[in-house]
Copies of this chain bind each other. A is one copy, B any other.
Amino acid sequence: MVVSKAWTLRQHFQGFPKASDFHLREETLPQPKNGQVLLEAVFLSVDPYMRPYSQTMMKEGDVMIGSQVAKVIQSYNPSFPVGCHVVSDCGWRSHWVCDGAELTPVLPDWPQDIPLSLALGAIGMPGLTALYGLEEVCEIKKGETLLVNAAAGAVGSVVGQIAKIKGCRVVGCAGTDTKVSYLKELGFDQVFNYKTATSLEESLREAAPHGYDCYFENVGGKFSSVVMPQMREYGRIAVCGSISMYNDTTPQTGPYVHTYMIFKQLRMEGFLCARWKNKHQQSLRRLMAWMTEGKLRCNEHITIGFNNMPAAFMGMLQGDNTGKAVVKTLEDCCSPSIFRWWDSPPGGVLVMEKNDGEESPGATGGEGDGRDTTPVHNTGTPDGMAALGVMLQGFMLNQQQSMQQQQQSMQQAMQSMQQQMQQQISQLQEEVQKGKTKQQCVVTPLPAANPDTLTRPAPQSRDPAEEVLGEHVDKKEEAAEMVRHNYIRRKGPKKVSHYVI
């Protein structure tokens, strides 16, 4: 059993979220059973949708909704071997026990030089959202003019780039001059700062005098009312978000859109990317291909420390981020992991050990490309394979029939792991020759997590391993701090540069 941390909704947000609306609690996780895995969060996503979702779909006390890139640190499911990375929708939790049905492995051939955090961004839900919004909802065609607002956000920045790939003219709006510069660098045709523009209406008209064929809506509210008259006949509006409205205490009102809808025969459609989940794998590969070809670039706004989830969320809601807002847990960034535990799964014994004494990049600079490359984080370490073998024997005693199926999927996973390892080896060899790429970090101290918001479960008897883990988590969170690092992958493969705001 493991003690996890989880951020809950202490009370429903009234207007803009406050720190006191969140509550950090510890929860004792059940011991993983056959078919289950224990996850450890590596990157956690903060996204605008969480704000309205909390209002309509959550009750007070629920764990905040959200996705994360997690590492499998204990596994009784051969499809998800120890060390592999998955995307999980388990919410704002540091650890979680679940079965494979709720997990999506990151692409098996994820390139070494692309941060895994992008599985929450351009090569994840926001990237898919951008792609589906353009292809499935807007059905955008070459030569058309697209408007996207909140264009420097996780979704908006991908929207504009995909539209450019498709041969469209792209107009983007953002709320700071820095974001405007960033979007111009990404290749947007016209970008302006809607906060400093004298007239949004005029700026939109100047940017596209003949109007807009497609409008990728991330903002809603009054912004949308200004756009409607500038839509062209048969215009399509993909309603992805309405961040300007999420914190309203009374609903904003604006002119009804019916007349424009009818006489211009506009189509407006709200969507969630899960609608096309049967296409996800194929779509992620397309996004990854654009990324490796240098056609799709991205920026991330990374906050360090699980304790800072609320701060990262609130910062994102007020537009602090240029690109995807992500939280990186301390375990993966600023300190070596010093923990060890053992457990006795049914049908086998799994022992994992991580070497102490690894180099610490320290608090002022993280080395690497934003991805922890210590062996324990890679899929398919020799130790992990041996443990799987032991576990396999245990399963065979009791579950021969189901084992055959699992074997097959495991064989596939193994093959995939082998390929990945070989790739990683080649890439590492290449990197060794070239010298390691540096990543710059600026560390901004944040207020420490409020001890009042931290509650613990009633003391229970723990085994020594769990206590070590619990202690480890506490120690890390006390030194909460935020790092912002940003990078743009430039056109052409294998060329990475890093931006610091």
- A271 with B265: CB separation less than 8 A: yes
Inter-chain CA distance A224–B253, complex, in Å, is 13
Tell which of B263, B271, B272 touches A52, judged by Cβ atoms closer than 8 Å: B263
A217 at the interface (CB under 8 A from B): yes
Inter-chain CA distance A259–B243, complex, in Å, is 10
Once A52-B259, A220-B256 are accepted as A-B contacts, the answer to whether A267 and B265 lie under 8 Å apart by CB is no
A469 at the interface (CB under 8 A from B): no
Inter-chain CA distance A221–B261, complex, in Å, is 13
- A269 with B266: CB separation less than 8 A: yes
- A252 with B260: CB separation less than 8 A: no
Q: Give, as a whole number of angstroms, the nearest-CB distance from A132 to chain B.
A: 11
What are the 6 tightest A-B residue pairs by CB atom distance, in nearest-first order?
A261-B270, A242-B258, A220-B258, A262-B270, A251-B255, A267-B269
Tell which of B53, B252, B268 touches A255, judged by Cβ atoms closer than 8 Å: B252
- A255 with B253: CB separation less than 8 A: yes
A350-375: CB near B (< 8 Å → 1, else 0) gives: 00000000000000000000000000
Inter-chain CA distance A217–B254, complex, in Å, is 19
Number of identical protomers: 2
Nearest B-chain residue to A255, judged by Cβ: B251
Tell which of B217, B242, B263 touches A270, judged by Cβ atoms closer than 8 Å: B263
A264 at the interface (CB under 8 A from B): yes
Q: Give, as a whole number of angstroms, the nearest-CB distance from A77 to chain B.
A: 31
- A263 with B252: CB separation less than 8 A: no
Q: List 26 A-B contacts (CB under 8 A).
A: A49-B262, A52-B259, A52-B263, A53-B263, A220-B256, A220-B259, A224-B256, A239-B262, A242-B259, A245-B258, A251-B255, A251-B256, A252-B255, A253-B253, A253-B256, A258-B270, A261-B268, A261-B270, A262-B270, A262-B271, A263-B270, A264-B270, A265-B272, A265-B275, A267-B268, A267-B270
- B242 with A256: CB separation less than 8 A: yes
Name which of A254, A262, A264, A265 has the most chain B CB atoms within 10 A of its CB: A262
A241 at the interface (CB under 8 A from B): yes
A249 at the interface (CB under 8 A from B): no
Q: Give, as a whole number of angstroms, the nearest-CB distance from A203 to chain B.
A: 21
CB neighbors of B among A226-261 (8 A): 239-242, 245, 251-256, 258-261
Residues on the B chain within 8 Å of A245, using CB: 256, 258-259
- B258 with A265: CB separation less than 8 A: no
Once A239-B258, A255-B253, A258-B242 are accepted as A-B contacts, the answer to whether A270 and B275 lie under 8 Å apart by CB is no
Nearest B-chain residue to A275, judged by Cβ: B265
- B242 with A262: CB separation less than 8 A: yes
A56 at the interface (CB under 8 A from B): yes
Residues on the B chain within 8 Å of A259, using CB: 52, 220, 242, 245
